[in-house]
Structure formats: structure tokens, C-alpha cells
Structure 1
Amino acid sequence: MTATAALPTPVRRSRPRVRGLLWTLLRLHRTALWLWLTFVAATAGLLLWLLGPGADATQAKLDAFGYSGVSAAAWSSDAMGSFTSGTYNDLFYAPSNLITIASFAIALFAGGPLIARELENGTAQLAWTQSVSPARWLAAKLAVPAGFVVLGTTLLVLVYRQLWSAHSNLLLAGIGPTSIYYSIGPSTVAAPLLGLAFGALAGLVLRRTLPALAVAGAGYFVVYAVLGKHWPFQGDYPQPGVRSRSWAITSTGAEVADPGCYDSQKCLAEHDIAGFGREYLPSSDYWSHQLLETGVLLALTALLVTAAFVVLRRRGTTA
């Protein structure tokens, strides 16, 4: 008899754990992912329309009133009456408002569906008992959404800056761009990351979906309000990089101080105002302020993320 050596049992190689964790995360939150991609695509589409067809149509209307300026918008009283609502001027600021709303939505998503819901229904604990450690679970939960947030907001900021550079002259004279400052710089990318970290920490601490949603939304609102209204690095100007100078134009073509009445025919007649003009003053401190604000936002985000891992380590094994 001849002895035969047993053939080695083939070993099935499974996919790397990290890849499996990422795939599970994307599949679990695919609805939120599609909503985010839809938001980015729709907002970018609006910005591109404002950059192209919308700007062309608005410039054509201004040309009909005899204005074809490049560096400042000079509006006659008649032209102003036809651009008071639902127009290019209003739509120009809509993406900024949408980005702000998105930051709050990210905080709510992180506090509720991303973290608290999985802790509440036991999905996270089940993953921890298998091949995924709590730290790796949380790292993936934060890294994957953060990547999509950074890519999406960066795209919107770049297109917004291009729009601002190309067509800010078409905005209504006398109305300052109070929110544009936060929408054309890197702080716009950092703000949603702060919301993501704040929501994740709320979810880990409370471990209940509805309370985490409430705390994440209210808490991020307070933080946003404090940073937006009492930002210590802006000096005397709420928008240091895009502050403007506006003036009025009389029927003789003379430039006079802006009386501040844009839709009152009586006031315009009393001051003999035939049009308005505005130009944006360059500011050397724009980037220094933007970078400082971005650094502070990222530092706060890092502190919140660190706190989240500390909470997870202390409470994860007792869940």
C-alpha cells in the first residue's frame, strides 16, 4: 500500500475587512448618500445656470435700460422695479442658503441615523462582537461621510467663487453680500465637518435617535449662531473680503451719497435719483481671516472627534 498525502484544503480569501465595512456603510446609508449627491448636483446646476444663461439674460435686460457696466451695477429706478424679487439677484444668494441648511442636515444625520440609531437598535454592538472593533467602526462612520462632504462642498465653493468673480456686478446696488463671505472660502468646507463631529458626539452620548437629533440640531445651531454673529476675528466688518461701496446717481449723472431708498418713488424723486452704483472693495485680510476661521473650525472638529472616541471607549463595552 502506498500512502497518499492529503491535499491542502484551499483557503478562501475574503475581502479586506475595511472594504467590507465601507461597503456595508454605503449600503446602509445609501438613501442619505443619494440625497447628498442630488443636493450637490442641483446646487451646482443652479450655480452654473447663474454663471451662464442666467447672467446672459440679466445682462440683456440691463442693456435694454442702457447699462453695460463691468465693475459695478448701476440700476435705474425703472430697472430696479423689475428686479425686486424672484430674480437673478435673489437666486445669486440661494446657493449660500442651501449650503447653510446642508450643514444643519449633516449634523442631524450624524446624530440620528448615522450613530444613535445603530446604537439604539443594537446594530453597532453586533458589529463589534464580530470582526469590527468599536474604534474602527466609528472611524469609518466619520471618514466616509466626511469624504463626500469635503468633495461636494469644495466643488460648490469653487463654482461659487467663479460665479462671484464673473458676475457680482449684476447684483442689486446697495444690498450687501452678507452671506457670500462664508460661501466662497475654505471655511464653508470646514463648517459641515464640525456639524458631522457634533452630531456624532451627540449620538454617542445619548444613544437614542430622537434625543440625539434634537441635541445635534439645537447644539449646532447655537455654535453656528455664536460663530456667525460674534466671530472674534472679523474686526469691524462682517464680511472683510467682500465689503462694498454704493452710491446714487442723479438725473444729471452726478454721483451722490446713497440715500438708502431703492423702491420708494417718492424718495427717489425727492433726491433726484436716477440710478445707483456699487463696487466691491478689495481686502488684503480676506484670506488671513478665512484661513484663521477654517483653522478654528477644524480645531473644534478635532476636539469633538477626540471626545467621541473617548466616549466610545468608556461606554462602548458597557452598551
Structure 2
Amino acid sequence: MIWLTWRQFRTQAAVLFAAVAVLAATLAVSGPRLADLYRTAGSGLVDQVSRADQTLYYTGLLVVLAVPAVIGMFWGAPLIARELETGTHHLAWNQGVTRTRWLATKLGLGAAASMTAAGLTSLAVSWWSSPIDRAVNGGGATDTYFPRLDPVAFAARGVVPMAHAAFAFVLGVALGLVIRRTLPAMATTFALYAAVQIAVPTWVRPHLAAPDRTTVPIEPDGAPISVQDEAGQIIAHLDEVPGAWITSQQTLDAAGQPAPVPSSFPDCLRTESGPPTLQQFEGCIADLGALGYQQQVTYQPAGNFWALQWAETGLHLGLALALTGFCAWWIRRRVT
């Protein structure tokens, strides 16, 4: 049964593992040079990375983020949906193989291969990117590169991609069982996986580890301040906390209570000739500071990286196990 399952998706596996090998070989060429550059430049590395390495940095991010989605669509969704669609599952069950064993073999082998592929990809990219990550966490410029805790980079580092791949694979299998048609199952797998990847960093991940809070003054000489929109929403940037991920913030009045900025503030930022000059902007900020307004910032410090990694890994593996239980129930009760 294991050999039969492997033969059914060995082509897809060979293609993906070959792509991972090519990526790893490419990264291995420039990785040592990047590490040597960090040893000499420290956090200044981010200003010395070549355009080619910058392209590799973003390519690595995209590849690690894409691997779980590809696995869910092209490994998970068709694995059982194709057999249900063509009716070949009846042949396997008539050979003395129980439904439970048939499902367990497919899920076990597929999940192991999925986690291996995602783990090797993440290992290669995390190793190559580690000098840049350390430079950013050490205070290097973040306008070009992401801190490791940033939602984009976080899902492409450490052990989380392995859990994402396991979840995506089992999600695809579950949807294939329910939908019983390959192409609709593939499309639905991609849509639901993408929705989870948006929902988790937005609403779940900020609460997986205890955050820190700080209150910064709204004044020209305080923390860097910007205005997000015409409504006058204040945004503080914590340059003094390198590598931090700001999860939320709110404006406080002089009494320390959450409050909107005065209604006159947006008007202060408008001029007849267009956006205010730097001097006009700083004048508006100084006026708010004089009224006692402050900005309370909630953030995850860089030191919480591994706590968040293991917590999210457990979350996605738990979801994968729950979907595995659902698959076992569905194939015994609903598949004929």
C-alpha cells in the first residue's frame, strides 16, 4: 500500500524536491559570502547587499510561502479526490485493504513528504537569510528587508513552514474527500489556505505570546510619528526596538485614556497647495504634544520569535490532526 501510494504522487514529489534542490544549490553559492559580509559590516550589511542578493532574498521568501499552498493544491487535493472521481477506490478496498488503512497510508506518507519538503526549503532560506535577519534585528534599515517577526517573513522562517505544509496537505485531502472532484477541490484548497494565512497573523498570532507595551510622546523630538490617512490617525514607529512587530496602537489623551485626536488636527495637516511641509507637519505634532497626547504601542519584541514559532506550529499541527479525524469519520460514514 505504501509503494502504491508513493507511485501515485511520485511525479509531483520529484518535481517539488528537484525545485528545492535547485534553490538550495543557488543559495549555497552566495550564502558564505553574505555571512562574511555580516561579520565585517554588522547591521550595516543591509546597505551593502547587492541587487542580485536582494532578488534572492525576495525569491526565497516567495518560495517558502508558496510551498505549502502548492502542496495542498497539487498533492493533497488530488490524492483521494482523483480516486473518488474515477471510482478506483473501490478496487483498492476489494483487495483486502480497509478504508482506514487506505486513508492512513495516504495521509501518513503525504504529510511526511510535505513536512520534509517545506522543512528543507525553510532551512535553506533561513540559513541564507540569517545575516540579513540579524542585521535588521540589530537595528539595520527595515524599509527594504523584513524583520523576522513581520507577518511576511515570519511564515518563511523557522519551523512554522513545516506545520503550514502539513495543514495544507491534510486540508487538501479533506476537501477532496468532501468535494470528490479534483479541480474544484484544488481551487477550494487554495482559497481556504490563503484565508487561514491571512486570518492567523491578523487575529491569532498577536495573542500567541505575551506582548510588550510602551507609551511614546507625540512630539517632534519623540518617537518617529506619521499620519496614516486624512482622518489624522497617528502612527508611531519604534526605531528604538529593532526587530519588533507592532500589533496595535492607540492614541491617549492627557489623562491617559484612549481618545481620538482633536477634530482640528486633520485640518492642520491640509494646505491649499497640497501636503504640508516638514515644518508644518512638525508644528501640528508639537501642538498635539502640548495638549498631552501620547501614543500607546503594543508590540511583539524580537525575542518572542521562537515562542511564537512553536505556538503557531502547535496550532497548525492541531488543525491538521483535527482534519485527519474528520477525514477518518467522513470516509467511514459518508463515502460509498
How far, CA to CA, are the matches of 2:58 and 2:315 in structure 1?
25
2:49 equivalent to 1:87: no
How far is the alpha carbon of 1:297 from its aligned partner? 0.8
Indicate how the Cα distance of structure 1 residues 144 and 187 shifts in structure 2: closer, same or farther if over 3 A, else same.
same
Which residues of structure 1 form unaligned runs of 5+?
Answer: 1-20, 245-266, 268-280
Q: Which residue in the other structure is 1:106 paired with?
A: 71
How far, CA to CA, are the matches of 1:42 and 1:187 in structure 2?
22
Indicate if the aligned counterparts of 2:77 and 2:169 stay in contact, CA closer than 8 A: no
2:175 equivalent to 1:175: no
Q: Which residue in the other structure is 1:72 paired with?
A: 44
Q: Which residue in the other structure is 1:189 paired with?
A: 162
Deviation digits for residues 73-104 of structure 1 (CA, Å, limit 9, x no counterpart): 363xxx79xx5xx5212311312211211111
Three-state SS of the structure 2 residue aligned to 1:72 is helix
Deviation digits for residues 189-216 of structure 1 (CA, Å, limit 9, x no counterpart): 1001110111111000111112212211
2:271 equivalent to 1:298: no
How far is the alpha carbon of 1:111 from its aligned partner? 4.7
Q: Which residue in the other structure is 2:195 paired with?
A: 222
TM value normalised by structure 2:
0.64
Letter aligned with residue 158 of structure 1: L
Indicate if the aligned counterparts of 1:50 and 1:92 stay in contact, CA closer than 8 A: no
Q: Which has the larger radius of gyration?
A: 1
Q: Which residue in the other structure is 1:233 paired with?
A: 207
Q: Which residue in the other structure is 1:308 paired with?
A: 327
How far, CA to CA, are the matches of 2:243 and 2:190 in structure 1?
30
Letter aligned with residue 87 of structure 2: G
Q: Which residue in the other structure is 1:121 paired with?
A: 86
Query: Which stretch has the larger CA shift, 194-203 or 98-107?
Result: 98-107
2:15 equivalent to 1:50: no
Output the aligned Cα RMSD. Answer: 3.1
Indicate how the Cα distance of structure 1 residues 51 and 197 shifts in structure 2: closer, same or farther if over 3 A, else same.
same
Letter aligned with residue 194 of structure 2: F
- Count of residue pairs brought into register by the alignment: 245
How far, CA to CA, are the matches of 2:7 and 2:242 in structure 1?
42
Q: Which residue in the other structure is 1:284 paired with?
A: 303
Indicate if the aligned counterparts of 1:116 and 1:206 stay in contact, CA closer than 8 A: yes
Indicate how the Cα distance of structure 1 residues 114 and 242 shifts in structure 2: closer, same or farther if over 3 A, else same.
farther
Which residues of structure 2 form unaligned runs of 5+?
Answer: 214-240, 246-277, 279-299
Letter aligned with residue 198 of structure 1: L
Q: Which residue in the other structure is 1:212 paired with?
A: 185
Letter aligned with residue 43 of structure 2: S
How far, CA to CA, are the matches of 1:98 and 1:198 in structure 2?
20
How far, CA to CA, are the matches of 1:241 and 1:73 in structure 2?
15
Indicate how the Cα distance of structure 1 residues 190 and 138 shifts in structure 2: closer, same or farther if over 3 A, else same.
same
TM value normalised by structure 1:
0.67
Three-state SS of the structure 1 residue aligned to 2:44 is coil
Indicate how the Cα distance of structure 1 residues 210 and 131 shifts in structure 2: closer, same or farther if over 3 A, else same.
same
